[in-house]
Amino acid sequence: METPFKNKVPNELKKKLIEQIEKLIENQFYLDSSINLEKLAKQLNTNRSYLSATINENYGKSFSQLLNHLRIEQVKTHLNSEDSYSKYTIPYIASISGFSSKSNFYISFKAITGTTPKEYIEQRLEEAKILEEETA
């Protein structure tokens, strides 16, 4: 027997919302530090409850957890592929990644990666140095 949810989203709407969310993810909507559940629901012509329920069910995360996850993955991608990115300050990386505060960035980064941004950058630079020495 299916568990009744308070905000059961009709299947057609859920499918449409997932498609719209995926398109927004491709377009990196999460880099906008002013985005919130209310604004996104309005943009997608739905209500907050349906949007939240769809995100929770499809991604296994709350809206804010999804945003933070996408933002941190973006930072990791840049740090792993662009040498110049690791020269930026942590507050600058936080701001261009959509975080409105440095502390939220630190907390999210540590929770997702298990390390601080500074430690991650240092590890990445050390790995690059070792790789460079091996290929020289």
List the chain domain ranges: 11-60, 66-135
- pLDDT of residue 1 exceeding 60, the answer is no
- Burial tier of 74 (Cβ tally within 10 Å: 0-12, 13-18, 19+): middle
**pTM attached to this predicted model:** 0.87
- pLDDT of residue 108 exceeding 70, the answer is yes
- Judge contact between 54 and 9, C-beta under 8 A: yes
pLDDT of residue 132: 76
Question: What is the dotted CATH code of the domain comprising 66-135?
Answer: 1.10.10.60
